[in-house]
Protein backbone atom coordinates (compact mmCIF):
# COMPACT_ATOMS: atom_id res chain seq x y z
CA UNK A 1 0.00 0.00 0.00
CA UNK A 2 1.39 3.43 -0.95
CA UNK A 3 1.92 6.32 1.48
CA UNK A 4 -1.02 8.15 -0.16
CA UNK A 5 -3.31 5.16 0.36
CA UNK A 6 -2.22 4.72 3.98
CA UNK A 7 -2.75 8.44 4.67
CA UNK A 8 -6.25 8.21 3.18
CA UNK A 9 -6.92 5.15 5.34
CA UNK A 10 -5.68 6.98 8.45
CA UNK A 11 -7.93 9.95 7.65
CA UNK A 12 -10.90 7.62 7.21
CA UNK A 13 -10.36 5.24 10.15
CA UNK A 14 -8.55 7.24 12.86
CA UNK A 15 -10.46 8.77 15.74
CA UNK A 16 -10.46 12.55 16.17
CA UNK A 17 -7.19 13.69 17.78
CA UNK A 18 -5.58 10.28 17.21
CA UNK A 19 -1.80 10.52 16.96
CA UNK A 20 0.40 8.09 15.04
CA UNK A 21 4.18 7.95 15.24
CA UNK A 22 6.13 7.83 11.98
CA UNK A 23 9.49 6.28 11.19
CA UNK A 24 10.98 9.80 11.44
CA UNK A 25 11.79 10.52 15.11
CA UNK A 26 9.85 13.55 16.34
CA UNK A 27 7.38 13.55 13.44
CA UNK A 28 3.81 12.40 14.11
CA UNK A 29 0.56 12.32 12.18
CA UNK A 30 -2.47 13.79 13.93
CA UNK A 31 -6.10 13.63 12.81
CA UNK A 32 -7.97 16.85 13.49
CA UNK A 33 -11.77 16.79 13.69
CA UNK A 34 -13.89 18.66 11.19
CA UNK A 35 -15.07 22.04 12.48
CA UNK A 36 -17.52 24.65 11.21
CA UNK A 37 -18.27 22.87 7.95
CA UNK A 38 -14.64 21.92 7.26
CA UNK A 39 -13.90 18.21 6.88
CA UNK A 40 -11.49 16.32 9.16
CA UNK A 41 -7.83 16.68 8.18
CA UNK A 42 -4.45 15.11 8.85
CA UNK A 43 -1.62 17.34 10.04
CA UNK A 44 2.02 16.79 10.96
CA UNK A 45 3.00 17.32 14.56
CA UNK A 46 6.67 18.05 15.24
CA UNK A 47 7.51 17.07 18.80
CA UNK A 48 10.95 16.14 20.20
CA UNK A 49 11.22 12.55 21.42
CA UNK A 50 13.15 10.95 24.25
CA UNK A 51 15.42 7.91 23.98
CA UNK A 52 12.42 5.55 23.92
CA UNK A 53 10.73 7.48 21.08
CA UNK A 54 8.02 9.02 23.27
CA UNK A 55 7.10 12.70 22.73
CA UNK A 56 8.70 15.04 25.25
CA UNK A 57 5.96 17.67 25.11
CA UNK A 58 2.22 17.31 25.50
CA UNK A 59 1.63 19.08 22.17
CA UNK A 60 4.17 19.88 19.47
CA UNK A 61 4.20 22.26 16.53
CA UNK A 62 1.33 21.60 14.13
CA UNK A 63 2.04 21.82 10.39
CA UNK A 64 -0.98 21.92 8.07
CA UNK A 65 0.70 22.39 4.69
CA UNK A 66 3.98 22.48 2.78
CA UNK A 67 3.83 26.30 2.88
CA UNK A 68 3.66 26.23 6.71
CA UNK A 69 6.55 23.76 6.87
CA UNK A 70 8.70 26.03 4.69
CA UNK A 71 7.75 29.05 6.81
CA UNK A 72 8.78 27.23 10.01
CA UNK A 73 12.00 26.00 8.37
CA UNK A 74 12.90 29.58 7.38
CA UNK A 75 12.30 30.83 10.92
CA UNK A 76 14.32 28.04 12.55
CA UNK A 77 17.23 28.39 10.11
CA UNK A 78 17.67 32.05 11.09
CA UNK A 79 20.88 32.26 13.20
CA UNK A 80 19.16 34.80 15.46
CA UNK A 81 16.68 32.09 16.54
CA UNK A 82 19.56 29.91 17.77
CA UNK A 83 21.19 32.89 19.45
CA UNK A 84 17.94 33.74 21.23
CA UNK A 85 17.47 30.13 22.41
CA UNK A 86 21.05 30.02 23.75
CA UNK A 87 20.49 33.23 25.71
CA UNK A 88 17.21 31.86 27.09
CA UNK A 89 19.02 28.70 28.24
CA UNK A 90 21.50 30.84 30.18
CA UNK A 91 18.80 32.98 31.84
CA UNK A 92 16.10 30.40 32.60
CA UNK A 93 16.40 28.17 35.68
CA UNK A 94 16.95 24.45 35.00
CA UNK A 95 13.75 22.56 34.30
CA UNK A 96 13.12 18.93 35.17
CA UNK A 97 12.53 16.65 32.21
CA UNK A 98 9.00 15.36 31.68
CA UNK A 99 8.40 12.32 29.51
CA UNK A 100 5.09 11.22 28.06
CA UNK A 101 4.55 7.70 26.81
CA UNK A 102 2.33 6.68 23.93
CA UNK A 103 1.99 3.20 22.58
CA UNK A 104 1.16 3.11 18.91
CA UNK A 105 2.31 1.47 15.76
CA UNK A 106 4.67 3.30 13.41
CA UNK A 107 3.56 4.95 10.15
CA UNK A 108 6.29 4.27 7.61
CA UNK A 109 6.91 7.33 5.40
DSSP 3-state of 30: strand
| Chain centre to alpha carbon of residue 16 | 16
Residue 104's pLDDT band (cuts 50, 70, 90): low
Give the model's pLDDT for residue 12: 94
Interatomic CA distance for residues 48 and 26, integer angstroms = 5
Q: What's the rounded Cα separation, in Å, for the pair 67 and 87?
A: 29
Domain residue spans in the chain?
3-64+99-107
Neighbouring CB atoms inside 10 A of 91's CB total: 7
pTM over 0.85: no
Q: Given a cut of 70, is residue 90 above it in pLDDT?
A: yes
Q: What's the distance, Cα to Cα, between the start and end of the chain in Å?
A: 11
Amino acid sequence: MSVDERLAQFLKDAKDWEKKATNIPGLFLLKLPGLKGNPPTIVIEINPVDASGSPMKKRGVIVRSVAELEWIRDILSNPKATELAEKMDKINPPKKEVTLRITTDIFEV
